[in-house]
Amino acid sequence: MNNMVMLNHVSHFNIGQILESGQVFRFEKISDHSYLLNAKQKLIKITQQPDSSSVAIYNTTASEVEEIWMNYFDINTNYENITATLAAKDEWMAKAVEFGKGIRILRQDPWEMLISFIVSQNKSIPHIKACLKNITNKFGFPINEVDGMGEHYHSFPTPKELSRATEEDLRECKVGFRAPYIMDACQKVLNGDVILNDLYIMPIEEAKAKLMTIKGVGPKVADCILLFAYSRMELFPTDVWIKRVIEGLYFEGKDVKLEEIQKFASEYFGELAGYAQQYLFFYGRENALFKDISKKKA
DNA sequence: GTTCAGGTGTCCA
DNA sequence: TGGACACCTGAA
């Protein structure tokens, strides 16, 4: 792959941690320090040596980096204050931040996040990735080939492209009972019931309610979309993993209602709740923290 | 064979 | 208003 652009002196950037923290699905690890990332209708390879502040992006140009990837990777946000503030909360946060200090919250495409997190419900991450690959292969258009990869990659289908899919088509992509949800999302976006670009400036509760008019979008999926596409950092998407971690760390392992966890996160982490969620999720999942709690309670 | 996975819609008290 | 329960699918 040619056309390499080097990013130098990037702090709080670890490509492995960024991609493995559960916010993005269309990537592959291709070697120890290299990842292939399919996003923004591009295919790039990213290579970063351990603990290096230099990041090599292949198959791109300086102007693309300026126009697309700087924003996508949120390079201009200074994570120094964010990590320092969160680490000062308590010793667990300090550990979580230290463990995932190279995490950044990406600025991804709202439509792709909408479909991705509809698919994500009640699925494991490898399965989510497989379903999204099926969908892109079937309904996206081919993008540039990669040397020696022997595989064609496809862009994420637009609402119009995906609206061609029948329920049967979608079930062939192994999305199961989520097929009608995807069709409803296509329809509401295409007919203007939900205008994704409007959500950037909409009050947070209104934006969330708007997303939840789509079938298959509940509070957790809406929070993920608003955090990972719209950078609404005050949100704290609460899934089974993060629920266990919060219960384990801050509620003595007791079963706590969703609302109570959200209330706690909002009061304790404030505007940084979304970042805290990412650090805790990554820390909790990589270390399988409190994985047994739900079993013991049952 | 059973259970569980980054939840949500539906039904019923 | 809130608590069960089912739901595609496939991996463990």
* Strand C contact at CB of residue A215, distance < 7 A: no
Break chain A into its structural domains and give their ranges. Answer: 5-76, 110-228, 240-297
pLDDT of A21 reads 93
Q: Is the CB of A176 under 7 A from strand C?
A: yes
Give the confidence band of A4 by pLDDT, cuts at 50, 70, 90.
very high
Query: Distance from residue A122 (CA) to nucleotide C7 (C1'), in Å?
Result: 9
Yes or no: is domain A110-228 CATH 3.30.70.100? no
Domain A5-76: state its class. alpha beta
pLDDT tens track for A73-90? 999 999 999 999 999 999
Residues with CB under 7 A from strand B: A 21-23, 120-125, 127-128, 177, 212, 215-222, 224, 237, 239-242, 277, 281, 294-295, 298
Q: Residue A52: which of A35, A70, A33 has the closest Cα?
A: A33
Residue A149 pLDDT level (bands cut at 50, 70, 90): low
Structural element, H or E, at residue A120: helix A110-120
| Tokens standing for residue A205 | 């509760």
Is strand C within 7 Å of residue A124 (CB)? Answer: yes
Pick A178 or A286 by higher pLDDT: A178
Q: Are A35 and A13 in contact (CB under 8 A)?
A: no
Is the predicted pLDDT of residue A150 greater than 80, yes or no? no
Fold classified for A240-297: Endonuclease Iii, domain 2 (1.10.1670)
Q: pLDDT tens digit string along A210-243?
A: 999 999 999 999 999 999 999 999 999 999 999 9
pLDDT of residue A128: 97
- B6 nearest neighbour residue (CA to C1'): A239
Whole-angstrom distance, CA of residue A263 vs CA of residue A39: 33
Distance A221 CA to B2 C1' (A): 28
Q: Given this model, what pLDDT does residue A293 score?
A: 55
Whole-number Cα distances in Å, A272 to A59, A178, A236, A239, A268: 34, 31, 9, 18, 9
At residue A146, the pLDDT reads 57
The pLDDT-based confidence of A124 (bands split at 50, 70, 90) is very high
